[in-house]
Chain A
Amino acid sequence: AAGVIQSPRHLIKEKRETATLKCYPIPRHDTVYWYQQGPGQDPQFLISFYEKMQSDKGSIPDRFSAQQFSDYHSELNMSSLELGDSALYFCASSSNQGAPGTDTQYFGPGTRLTVL
Chain B
Amino acid sequence: GQQLNQSPQSMFIQEGEDVSMNCTSSSIFNTWLWYKQDPGEGPVLLIALYKAGELTSNGRLTAQFGITRKDSFLNISASIPSDVGIYFCAGQLLGGGTSYGKLTFGQGTILTVHP
Shortest Cβ gap from A38 to chain B (Å): 12
Q: Contact: B44 with A107, CB < 8 Å? A: yes
Q: How long is the Cα–Cα vector from A58 to B35 in the complex, in angstroms?
A: 21
User: Residue B58 at the A interface, CB < 8 A?
Assistant: no
Residues of B within 8 A of A106 (CB): 45
- Check B42 for interface membership: any CB of A closer than 8 A: yes
Inter-chain contact B101/A96, CB cutoff 8 Å: yes
- Residues on B with beta carbons closer than 8 Å to the beta carbon of A99: 94-95
Residues 52-73 of chain A, each 1 if its beta carbon lies under 8 Å from chain B, else 0: 0001111000000000000000
B80 at interface, CB cutoff 8 A: no
A104's nearest neighbour on chain B, judged by CB, is: B48
Q: How large is the interface on B (under 10, 10 to 19, 20 to 34, 35 or more residues)?
A: 20 to 34
Known contacts A55-B100, A98-B94, A106-B45; A112 and B40 CB within 8 A of each other: yes
Asked whether, in the complex, the Cβ of B50 is within 8 Å of the Cβ of A56, the reply is no
Number of interface residues of A (CB under 8 A): 32
Q: Using an 8 Å CB-CB cutoff, how does the interface string of B66-100 with A read, 1 for contact, 0 for none?
A: 00000000000000000000001000101110111
Docked complex: A1-59 residues within 8 A CB-CB of B = 4, 31, 33, 35, 42-45, 48, 50, 55-58
Decide if A58 touches B102 in the complex (CB within 8 Å).
yes
B residues in contact with A74, CB < 8 Å: none
Q: Which residues of A contact B104 (CB under 8 A)?
A: 45
- B95 CB contacts on chain A under 8 angstroms: 98-99
A 80-101 binary contact with B (CB < 8 Å = 1; else 0): 0000000010101010101111
Given that A42-B108, A100-B31, A101-B31 are known contacts, is A109 also in contact with B103, CB under 8 Å in the complex? no
Q: Which of B44, B103, B104 has the most CB of A within 10 A?
A: B103
Task: Please name the residue on chain A nearest to B93 by beta carbon.
Answer: A100
